[in-house]
Structure 1
Amino acid sequence: MSRKIKVAAAQVGAVDLGALKKDTVQRLIKLLHQAAEQKVQLVVYPECTLTTFFPRHFIQSQEELDKYFEHGEDITQSPDVKPLFDEAKAHDIDIVLGYAERTPDGMGYNTSVYFSGSTGKVLSKYRKVHLPGRVEPFEDPAATNQLEKRYFKPGNYGFQAFRAPGLVKDAVKKSTTTKADESTEGKGDPILGMLICNDRRWPEAWRVYTLQGAEILMFGYNTGGHMSHLWGGKSMAPEEAEKEALFHSRLVQQANSYMHACFSISAARCGLDDGKYHLIGGSSIVRSEGHVVAEAGTDGDELVAAEIDLAECRQGKERTFNYGKHRRVETYGLITGQTGVVEPELL
């Protein structure tokens, strides 16, 4: 049963520290219009899409810091961002948008939402769980910081998969099935899940989603091309460091797509912010067998689009990685019962 969808990653190039949100949103709308011309149904934007990646900066003024966050319960009504959601609805395109969220009680989260163009509503919200980096900046003034642990709390929504209507023709609905019907697995509206940046490196997140049948995982990222202080490893030449960062970004997306029998869409915020902070590109769409369908060729604004068929997920979900037949949960206790490493006793 073919279940084809036209999807895209909307890669966004450099966004400087002083860039206005409304100007950045116009760039996002331009990418959305390109998607509409190509009859794309789902567009994924990067992590913290609306501003520069401010966690690289040590910001002590609360007033200044709050400029980088979206405030209020409904991001679709934010004055600077509403035009993007209005355009998505007008073109009947679903979008995933990453942004910094400030809740009414003052908590900060690295957040993404899934907006349905056909319903005009946010169907799901996700808050980043695996926050990298540090609370305090490095002592070395030349270091590139990563202060997400300072500005954000770990996500508190978990990994909740959801279905999106209007993407797949003739999707099986609850109202049209009976208990006597054959299995409906892989026949309904697509099952989706969101991650953000560092989450993509943690297979536990993918596994929780695909235990709910997820067929597409979507995530944006801001990944530094040269952050030797954060890595704590040997110093590399910038070109070598960028190559390594791109390799690891591709590796985790392809490997996890294969091991979890799902498609994945990644969107990079990339380029050279403020002429000095380099972020990798590499936005891509990956099949459930781990093959790259389409990948960005630049470090600037670029739409990476492809048609995918969710029916391809069934091979992995029903055979190689058939969870019901092959998982042995009685042996996996350490995964949820222990956080850090505990080595066996020394000989």
Structure 2
Amino acid sequence: MTRIVNLALGQLGPIARADSRAQVVKRLCALMREAHASGAHLIVYPELALTTFFPRWYIEDEAELDSFFEREMPGPDTLPLFELSRELGVGFYLGYAELAEEGGRRQRYNTSILVDRGGRIVGRYRKVHLPGHREHEPWRRFQHLEKRYFTAGDGFGVNEAFGGKVGMALCNDRRWPETYRVMGLQGVEMVLIGYNTPVHNAPAPAHDDLSLFHNQLSLQAGAYQNGTWVAGVAKAGMEEGVDSIGGSCVVAPSGEVVARCVTKDDELALARCDLDFCAVYKRTTFNFDLHRQPHAYGMIVARKGETLMADGSAVAG
């Protein structure tokens, strides 16, 4: 029996700094209703989907910074999305800024959650590969202060959900092969990735014209090399004076793009994803147990003072 996930890409256009959570959630709900009407089981929203992309500003006031973060999920503003999910039977992936209390300390994370078709959170992920910089750099047209505002997450897990094995990542994670491979070693069959990516790369402006190409290249490579479906969903368009790429798409385990958004606005695109199609690649070209040779690179230094082991883990010494 095939395992089909009807997947919807819930791309968002710009969110203004003055837009309220309620306004944004109303847009998310509208996309979910459209997804349901089209037969979708799961809708994927972007990274930091509830607010404008605030790391573009250097914010010194802690209260102002905290206003972009969620202290609970669901909270009063996001509860309607969970209620609609339960009513319609449509699950969702949502990226947001999380303010957590851990061991008596406040921690800020760039987070995504996976919600099942009953409106229940079944997975949580915190972004590992934080891009940008930590200190104010006035020479930039806009800042990219994720390293200042977020703590890095501690790994990539895989969730049993939607009839298969579903993993999550966020934005810059998509560029790193380890993101997909760590989940691939866990048998992942679908990777969901939200992103906010500006067209302009301040440290490397020569890359600006390649931003869409690099986005799709990363998604396709990760899908093919790990025999998994990959969905990448953007918050796109001219937001507070910064132009961000669109390019939301679904990539099959073959590496082929099977669905995409074509605008930089709120837009829905749909893909019929057969999770059993992953086995065509996991049992042949990318049969890790049969063809992968971890002993050949088991002594590569992962970081200073650490060794990368055959199972992909790093140990001291």
Same-fold call, TM cutoff 0.5: yes
The whole-number CA distance in structure 1 between the counterparts of 2:77 and 2:159 is 27
The whole-number CA distance in structure 2 between the counterparts of 1:149 and 1:304 is 32
Q: How does 1:226-237 map to 2 (within 5 A)?
A: 226-227=200-201, 229=202, 232-233=203-204, 235-236=205-206
Q: Is the 8 A contact 1:197 1:222 kept in 2?
A: yes
| 2:183 corresponds to 1:209 | yes
- 1:133 maps to 132
| 2:271 corresponds to 1:306 | yes
- 1:29 maps to 29
- 1:56 maps to 56
| 2:259 corresponds to 1:260 | no
Bigger Rg over Cα: 1
Quote the RMSD (CA, aligned, Å).
1.5
- 1:9 to partner: Cα distance: 1.1
SS at match of 2:284: helix
SS at match of 1:106: strand
Q: How does 1:213-228 map to 2 (within 5 A)?
A: 213-227=187-201
SS at match of 1:9: strand
Which of 187, 190, 204 matches 2:164?
190
Q: How does 1:52-201 map to 2 (within 5 A)?
A: 52-72=52-72, 75-76=73-74, 78-104=75-101, 105-118=105-118, 120-140=119-139, 142-156=140-154, 158-164=155-161, 167=162, 189-201=163-175
Structure 1 segments, 4+ long, off by >6 Å, are: none
SS at match of 1:338: coil
SS at match of 2:265: coil
- 1:255 to partner: Cα distance: 1.2
- 1:277 to partner: Cα distance: 0.6
SS at match of 1:70: coil
SS at match of 1:107: strand
The whole-number CA distance in structure 2 between the counterparts of 1:337 and 1:116 is 36
- Per-residue CA deviation, residues 140-188 of structure 1 (Å, 9 max, x unaligned), is 1x522110000000013x1111111xx4xxxxxxxxxxxxxxxxxxxxx
Structure 2 runs not aligned, ≥5 long: 306-317
The whole-number CA distance in structure 2 between the counterparts of 1:219 and 1:297 is 18
Identity of aligned residues (%): 39
SS at match of 1:88: helix
- Per-residue CA deviation, residues 185-209 of structure 1 (Å, 9 max, x unaligned), is xxxx211000000001111110110
The whole-number CA distance in structure 2 between the counterparts of 1:335 and 1:154 is 23
The whole-number CA distance in structure 2 between the counterparts of 1:27 and 1:225 is 24
The whole-number CA distance in structure 2 between the counterparts of 1:272 and 1:339 is 41
SS at match of 1:79: coil
The whole-number CA distance in structure 2 between the counterparts of 1:271 and 1:316 is 35
1:192 partner amino acid: V
| 2:248 corresponds to 1:289 | no
The whole-number CA distance in structure 1 between the counterparts of 2:142 and 2:304 is 28
The whole-number CA distance in structure 1 between the counterparts of 2:304 and 2:223 is 24
**More strand as a share of residues:** 2
SS at match of 1:244: helix
SS at match of 1:154: coil
Q: Is the 8 A contact 1:6 1:307 kept in 2?
A: yes
- 1:338 to partner: Cα distance: 2.7
SS at match of 1:162: strand
CA spacing shift, 1:143–1:304, aligned 2, 3 Å: same
The whole-number CA distance in structure 2 between the counterparts of 1:336 and 1:41 is 42
1:91 partner amino acid: L
SS at match of 2:198: coil
CA spacing shift, 1:255–1:64, aligned 2, 3 Å: same
- 1:336 to partner: Cα distance: 6.1
- 1:332 maps to 297
- Per-residue CA deviation, residues 240-297 of structure 1 (Å, 9 max, x unaligned), is 82x41000000000111001100011110111112x1111000001100000011110
CA spacing shift, 1:41–1:147, aligned 2, 3 Å: same
The whole-number CA distance in structure 1 between the counterparts of 2:258 and 2:166 is 18
1:248 partner amino acid: H
Count of equivalent residues: 302
- 1:334 to partner: Cα distance: 5.1
Q: Is the 8 A contact 1:8 1:265 kept in 2?
A: no
